[in-house]
């Protein structure tokens, strides 16, 4: 039986995005079934505009250059990789409603659901992480 990895993405900075997508793609590479629930600021990680300009922590601007020099994929590239590897993206319906967002604001291929949708996946997860 495949391992299941359930990830909650609740923060919207660049470091948060790398944590979420590095773990998700690594887990998917091991044949695990992976789902990410994007809620509150975490929705920025899959927002068509926001995910291209995620904020760095103050004083860490020089790290952006390090990412480029180390050939680390951009967040849009990691999003695409995760989707190609079968990682399921679930955008939080309640947060979208509160923020006035629709499915069209996000990258293609996402599901929209509430906490129950994520919990249905997470209840059988071998690993659950929150970033």
* Tens-place pLDDT, residues 64-103: 889 889 999 999 999 999 999 999 999 999 999 999 999 9
Domain of residue 125: give its range: 4-130
End-to-end Cα spacing for the chain: 26
- For position 61, what pLDDT does the model report? 81
Give SS3 for 106: strand
C-alpha count within 13 angstroms, C-beta hemisphere, residue 23: 19
Say how many domains are in the chain: 1
CA-to-CA distance for 127 and 3, rounded, in angstroms? 8
* Tens-place pLDDT, residues 17-60: 999 999 999 999 999 999 999 999 999 999 999 999 999 988 88
The reported pTM is: 0.95
Nearest CA to 90 out of 45, 31, 25 is that of: 45
Tokens of 115: 């906490």
- Kindly report the CATH number assigned to the domain that includes residue 90: 3.40.1260.10
CA-to-CA distance for 52 and 127, rounded, in angstroms? 28
- For position 116, what pLDDT does the model report? 96
């Amino acid at each position: 039986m495949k391992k299941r990895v359930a990830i909650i993405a609740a923060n919207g900075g660049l470091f948060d995005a790398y944590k979420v997508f590095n773990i998700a793609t690594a887990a998917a590479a091991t044949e695990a079934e992976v789902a990410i629930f994007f809620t509150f600021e975490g929705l920025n990680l899959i927002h068509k505009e926001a995910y291209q300009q995620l904020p760095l922590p103050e004083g860490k601007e020089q790290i952006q250059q390090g990412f480029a020099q180390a050939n680390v994929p951009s967040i849009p590239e990691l999003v695409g990789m995760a989707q190609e590897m079968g990682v399921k993206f679930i955008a939080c319906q309640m947060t979208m409603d509160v923020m006035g967002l629709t499915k069209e604001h996000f990258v293609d291929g996402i599901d929209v659901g509430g906490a129950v949708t994520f919990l249905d996946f997470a209840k059988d997860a071998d690993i659950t992480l929150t970033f």
